[in-house]
Every structure is written in structure tokens, then in C-alpha cells.
Amino acid sequence: MSRENDVLLNEDIRANEVRCVGDDGTTYGVISRTEALDIANRLGLDLVLIAPDAKPPVCKVMDYGKFRYQQEKKQKEAKKKQKVIEVKEIKLSIKIAQNDINYKVKHALEFLQDGKHVKFRVFLKGREMASPEAGVVMLNKVWDMIKESAERDKEPLIEGRYVNMLVTPKKA
């Protein structure tokens, strides 16, 4: 169902009585639907149902095209103000060498300085699944290396074949 179908206009409004309000703030009070339609037609505007759940439903006499344009404009403004959070993923294994850990931690620190979130994942192979605690130990080891410049969402979490930990940049 598209956005246009959410709003009922003119003849689509089924209620017998409506509380009618003008675009300029004029209150017409509780009147019949036909009377409200007459007012809208006389002014060359549309009758728009804005509160269908109210008793009686609330309608507004307004220019629907202008109303839709303003709604779209508001949505675009809201979208501009949204901040997109980028999450970088760094994969590790239980049998990783220390210099490889150092290299990956160095990259993680760069990502954190850029304001990105970092998700560390330890992949558990074969028999490593029997003791996923080794993955938690690995992530705690990594956490000790980066805790000065990051905040941890929560303790390392075991999810299937992975042990995950999400790290965010420290707030200034």
C-alpha cells in the first residue's frame, strides 16, 4: 500500500458526521460529510481526513497537492539530518598469530578514529565449536588492546559459529 492510499480525500471519506477544520484555522464544528464537501468545493480545495480514529473523525479543508508537497519536503529534510553509521567487520580466528592481531587492531583503531563502529568476529572451525569460550578469550584479549579508544556495547556474544563483539568510538 503506497503513501497516497493512507489519506482519504473528498468522496472517499465514509463517515456521516465529521469535525471540520479549515486550512486557515477556521473551525466549522461537527457537520455532515456532504456539508463539509460543499465547503471544500466552494473554496476550490479538498476535504482531507486527518484523524480517522477520532469520534467524530477530523477532516481538514486544504489543498491536498500542497499538503503532499510539504510532507515530502519534511521527509527529505529528516533524511538529510540522519547520520549513517558505518560498521566495519574484522574477522579473526582462534589460532591467529600475535602480529596478525596487532595488524588487525591497528586497522580497527583507524576505523574508530574515523567514527566508524567495528564488529570483531571470531570464526569457530570444526572442533573449536566444542569450546567457544576460546573465542571469548580472544575477543577479551583484543578488547584489552583497544579499550583506551573505544567503548564496548556488551560482552562478547556467541552466535552459532561466530563469537561477536561490537565496539564503538569513545564519546568525547
Identify residue 71 by its one-letter amino acid code: Q
Place of cell 584489552: 144
Range of the domain at 24: 3-80
Q: What pLDDT score does 121 carry?
A: 92
Is the model's pLDDT at 80 over the cut of 80?
yes
Question: Confidence band (pLDDT; 50, 70, 90) for 6?
Answer: low
Q: What pLDDT score does 3 carry?
A: 45
Of the residues 48, 80, 112, which one is the last residue of a structural domain?
Answer: 80
- Strand 58-62 to strand 17-22: parallel, antiparallel, or no bridges (unpaired)? parallel
Nearest to 48 by CA among 16, 22, 17: 22
Question: 119 or 85, which is more confident?
Answer: 119
Domain tally for the chain? 2
3 state DSSP class of 158: strand
Q: For residues 19-40, give the mean pLDDT.
A: 86
Q: What pLDDT score does 1 carry?
A: 37
Least confident of 10-14, 20-24, 145-149: 10-14
Of the residues 80, 104, 136, which one is the last residue of a structural domain?
Answer: 80
